Amino acid sequence: MTITSLRFPDGFLWGASTAAHQIEGNNLNSDWWRKEHDPAAKISEPSLDACDSYHRWEQDMDLLSELGFTDYRFSVEWARIEPVPGIFSRAEIAHYRRMVEGASARNLRPMVTLHHFTVPQWFADMGGWTSAGAAELFARYVENCAPIIADGVRHVCTINEPNMIAVMAGAAKAGNQGFPPAGLPTPDEETTRAVIAAHHAAVKAVRGINPAIQVGWTIANQVYQALPGAEADTAAYRHPREDVFIEAAQGDDFIGIQSYTRTKIGSEGPVPAPEDAERTLTQWEYYPAAVGDALRHTANIIGRDMPLIVTENGIATADDSRRIDYYTGALKAVTAALADGINVVGYLAWSALDNYEWGSYTPTFGLIAVDPLTFERTPKPSAVWLGSLGRTRELPRTA
């Protein structure tokens, strides 16, 4: 279908995303902090101070607002709020409440994620998501986040990328230390059921706090593309890794779309990108159109009435001109999806800051550079360009 307009609708969410563990620093009570400092885990480098955003969040929000963004997605850290079972830190709850109020004061609509990959060490020690009563414990934590989200928060994400949680659990059970050259390990079925149950319990808890909150979860969309004759193989491969989590969102208020690249599937399984394909710092194929494919596939599974928010999309690169090119291609794909009648209501880039990418600071996704010694923030040209679109709501046709 021909794109008749490259303008985003009024009220469209326009922002950037972060995750607490990746930017805050010194998240001492989380399972990831312990993992980072365990030699057996073979983590390249620990998070340590990260971007020191626990103390510098006001600077981050000032920059995003000044750049033109209207929305900011950030997460609250369960390990800080409930460092030991049943004991909730009033100081940490107040800290995150100040962040919500600080965002609103800067005309940034806060989107709060309640779980972004990390859990308290005590929760991991009891067996994590598949332990007895895990869903109830997560719901209890969510209920205790009421002072943070009850007022002034329109969108709440319960769990970030539950399909990746299940995939990583499957890899761990299989004894795998890394991912295959293409595609994803087989998700653990027990973990899949557990995180879906936890999500449903959390949705109920959020609606009990304030029924006006729009609540959903975010899914890592791999954009599986079938090679000729492999359509059935692709559907069978994709369902446990993605579609089951989309289907579990029936009844939610939105789904978060998180897309970066594509995965081609043949009759023998995932096929690596060609040797001459452009790759990012994460070694993913450079493929800006992925987000449009992810939006269409999700809408086909869940139905076109479901609001979709691009909650993560971006590129790890040291060449900021390629970042602008990537975002240009991605946003063209988003406007094409809008033109086709898909209910896209927002776009939030990953990431606001160059941050800790789960084992390394090398993959730089950020719109804003962070000096690792002084923590000085420096917006990149891509940040200025992308933020300006928050004011105009229009993608230049010459782009």
In tens, the pLDDT along 361-391 reads 999 999 999 999 999 999 999 999 999 999 8
Q: What is the pLDDT of residues 5-42, one digit of tens each?
A: 478 999 999 999 999 999 999 999 999 999 999 999 99
Q: Within a 10 A sphere around the Cβ of 290, how many other Cβ atoms?
A: 26
Tell me which residue range forms the domain holding 102: 13-390
Q: What is the pLDDT of residues 226-268, one digit of tens each?
A: 999 999 999 999 999 999 999 999 999 999 999 999 999 999 9
First-to-last CA distance in the chain? 19
242 neighbors 163 (Cβ within 8 angstroms): yes
Number of domains in the chain: 1
Residue 221 within a domain: yes
Q: What is the mean pLDDT of the chain?
A: 96
DSSP string for residues in 324-347: HHHHHHHHHHHHHHHHTT--EEEE
Residue 399 within a domain: no
Residue 2 within a domain: no
Distance CA 98, CA 103 (A): 8
Is the pLDDT confidence value at 204 over 70?
Answer: yes
Is the pLDDT confidence value at 4 over 70?
Answer: no
Residue keyed to tokens 């981050």: 60
3-state SS string for 23-83: HCCCCCCEHHHHHHCCHHHCCCCCCCCCCCHHHHHHHHHHHHHHHCCCEEEEECCHHHHCC
Q: Within a 10 A sphere around the Cβ of 92, how many other Cβ atoms?
A: 19
Is the pLDDT confidence value at 398 over 60?
Answer: no
**What integer pLDDT is reported at residue 181 of this predicted model?**
84
Q: What is the pLDDT of residues 45-61, one digit of tens each?
A: 999 999 999 999 999 99
**What integer pLDDT is reported at residue 180 of this predicted model?**
86
Distance CA 297, CA 224 (A): 9
Residue 349 within a domain: yes
**Taking the model in full, what pTM does it have?**
0.97
CATH number of the domain enclosing 212: 3.20.20.80
Number of H helices and E strands in the chain, helices first, is 15, 13
**What integer pLDDT is reported at residue 177 of this predicted model?**
64
Is the pLDDT confidence value at 122 over 80?
Answer: yes
**What integer pLDDT is reported at residue 176 of this predicted model?**
75
Q: Within a 10 A sphere around the Cβ of 204, how many other Cβ atoms?
A: 13
**What integer pLDDT is reported at residue 399 of this predicted model?**
45
**What integer pLDDT is reported at residue 268 of this predicted model?**
94
Residue 37 within a domain: yes
Instruction: Single out the residue of 10, 22, 7 nearest to residue 350, CA to CA.
Output: 22
- Percentage of the chain beyond pLDDT 90 is 93
Q: What is the pLDDT of residues 138-197, one digit of tens each?
A: 999 999 999 999 999 999 999 999 999 999 999 999 887 678 889 999 999 999 999 999
31 neighbors 118 (Cβ within 8 angstroms): yes
Q: What is the pLDDT of residues 280-337, one digit of tens each?
A: 999 999 999 999 999 999 999 999 999 999 999 999 999 999 999 999 999 999 999 9
Distance CA 110, CA 95 (A): 14
Bridge partners for 266 per DSSP: 269
